[in-house]
Amino acid sequence: MITFLLSIVLLIVGYFTYSKVVERIFGINDENKTPAYTHQDGLDYMPMPWWKGTLIQLLNIAGLGPIYGAIAGALYGPVAFIWIVVGCIFAGAVHDYFSGMLSLRHKGAQFPTLVGRYLGNGIKVVVNIVSIILMVLVAAAFTAGPAHLISSLAPISFSMALVLIFAYFFIAAVLPINRIIGRIYPIFGAILIFMAVSIGGALLFMDNPIPNLTLENLHPGDLPIWPLLMVTISCGAISGFHSTQSPIIARTLKKESEGRKVFYGAMIGEGIIALIWAAAGMTFFNGTVGLQEALAAGGPGEVVNTISISLLGTVGGLLAIIGVIILPITTGDTALRSSRMMLTELLENRFKVSGSKGIILATLPVTLATIYLTTIDYSFLWRYVGASNQIVAAIMLWTATMYLLEKGKFHWICGIPAIFMTGVVTTYIFYAPEGFALAYGTSLAIGATLTLLVTLWYAYKIRTVKPQIDSDAHKVA
């Protein structure tokens, strides 16, 4: 239990200390007018209060991610706590802050546009494809489950439930952000926090103690910690999906100093949620073996349902239904919204298509692709979500690194986690079943070699890039 409580304290301390270091290095300037004012369009660019933006950001980046992923990561034992804390403070929250603030500094630009600016147009083309695929995968993975549950609770078929969900997705993706997302998502974000805090409080009074730190790998299937844990627990530690969501809120900030609370703060909140559910997974079922049996019997949805009802009774049952239905749906619709925004930028730049016609043309393809993928097995989808997710995370960190290098700032704050995540994704691609499925030792060797090559490229950039003065930034008291 001490490890669990200390981990939560460290995350909170990380927000009040390290986030200020990150903000100082980036260099904010509240005299700069934000895109919410300079590009106000009544659709995506609209000023909103920072507290509302924080709750929406938390809901957008979280959903069921820090619940399902943390429960799966709990199979490794308390070592998962280390990854969540270290990953969140030094990688995930930094990643989210820079993805949001760089978007804000570049007129609310989407992630692929930022990549093109700092890593080159060749990488931008790849990232456009990978990012949109990731959005579609996330939306599909977070749709089938709620549709099944709705059909079991109401007198409608699974197909009809899918139709209703996707009708909502389409409407939410094309309506102004203040119509649905700005009004009800802060409420759902608060419910997500309440759900996690309630579970965390109940865990403290269980007969089974929350296990304390051990570096031993407790996975019943004897799967290696590196790099699988870092891909299994993405939401709650570091997730590339967040870099696609941050521009949604970057287009609503009233001033630059709100970025630390919205982007870094929401990620710390997600880290705490992940800690709570990881602790619940490894404690409620009396160890990782019991948790694996529960996951095999009913999947993560049933695990969440069992824990919620057992610890919180009727309220827990209601929260579980809200969690399994509403939270994934709210992640799915913002995934489609961000993919619509990416395609809109592409259509405007390449084909000069804009306005309502561009919005509809950009929304329909991703919606139809998502509908098709909901017919595919969930576990298959989720494996590819994990892989593409962390590839995007590594690319975003390298984008932020090149930005800082170009501005003559302390680039190591992004460069070190970028190297780390490069090692994660290169090793994972060659080891994982959905990748090349090579032997573990071979995958480690290839991953290390590729990471070394990327690090040498980084060293070359450090020597050759000539820093420019950042005229947009200064420290705001």
Give residue 359's pLDDT. Answer: 61
Averaged confidence pLDDT in the chain: 87
Over range 39-45, report the average pLDDT: 90
Region of 222 (left: φ > 0; alpha: ψ -120 to 50; beta: rest) is left
Record the tokens describing residue 189, joined without a space.
């974000």
In the chain, the amino acid numbered 390 is Q
pLDDT per residue as tens digits for the range 351-376:
555 555 556 665 666 667 777 776 66
**Over the stretch 7-36, which tens digit does the pLDDT of each residue have?**
999 999 999 999 999 999 999 999 999 999
Q: Which residues contact 230 (CB under 8 A, 6 or more apart)?
A: 83, 87, 237, 238, 390, 421, 424, 428
Instruction: Give kind and range of the element (H or E) at residue 142.
Output: none
Q: Is the pLDDT of residue 477 over 50?
A: no
Q: Find the farthest-apart pair of alpha carbons in the chain and give their distance in angstroms, rounded.
A: 66
CA trace torsion 362, 364, 365, 369 (10° rounding): 140
Mean pLDDT across the stretch 65-94?
95
pLDDT at 357: 59
Q: Are 234 and 387 in contact (CB under 8 A)?
A: no
Q: Express as a percent the part of the chain with pLDDT over 90.
A: 54
Between 177 and 107, residue with greater pLDDT: 107
Higher pLDDT, residue 224 or 314: 224
Mean pLDDT calculated for residue range 122-131: 82
Single-letter residue type at 274: A
User: Mean pLDDT, to the nearest integer, of 304-315?
Assistant: 86
Delimit the domains of the chain by residue range. Answer: 2-464
Confidence of residue 224 (pLDDT cuts 50, 70, 90): very high
pLDDT band at 136 (very low <50, low <70, confident <90, very high): confident
Taking only the tens place, the pLDDT of each residue in 231-255 is: 999 989 999 989 988 999 999 999 9
CATH architecture of 2-464: Up-down Bundle (1.20)
Decide if 426 contacts 395 (C-beta within 8 A): no
Q: How much of the chain, in percent, has pLDDT values that exceed 70?
A: 90
Mean pLDDT of 287-295: 94
Is the per-residue pLDDT at 459 higher than 70? yes
Residue with tokens 């979280």: 62
Helix/strand/coil percentages in the chain, nearest 5: 75, 0, 25
pLDDT surpasses 50 at 412: yes
In three-state form (DSSP H/G/I as H, E/B as E, the rest C), the secondary structure along 63-122 is CCHHHHHHHHHHHHCCHHHHHHHHHHHHHHHHHHHHHHHHHHHCCCCCHHHHHHHHHCHH
What is the structure's pLDDT at 225? Answer: 96
Angstrom distance (rounded) from CA 178 to CA 53: 11
pLDDT value of residue 476 = 52
Lowest mean pLDDT across 73-77, 173-177, 436-440: 173-177
Taking 70 as the threshold, does the pLDDT of residue 419 lie above it?
Answer: yes
**Span of 120-124, 206-210, 293-297, 339-343 with lowest mean pLDDT:** 339-343
pLDDT tops 70 at residue 379: no
> With contact defined as beta carbons under 8 Å apart, do 431 and 440 qualify?
yes
**Rounded average pLDDT over 70-99:** 97
**Which residue bears the tokens 């570091």?**
238
pLDDT in tens, 178-190: 888 888 888 888 8
pTM: 0.91
pLDDT at 454: 98
Residue 469 predicted with pLDDT over 80: no
With a cut of 80, say whether residue 334 has pLDDT above it: no
User: Is 417's pLDDT higher than 90?
Assistant: yes
Q: Per residue in 157-178, pLDDT tens?
A: 888 888 888 888 778 777 888 8
pLDDT digits (tens, 9 = 90+) for 53-67: 999 999 888 877 788
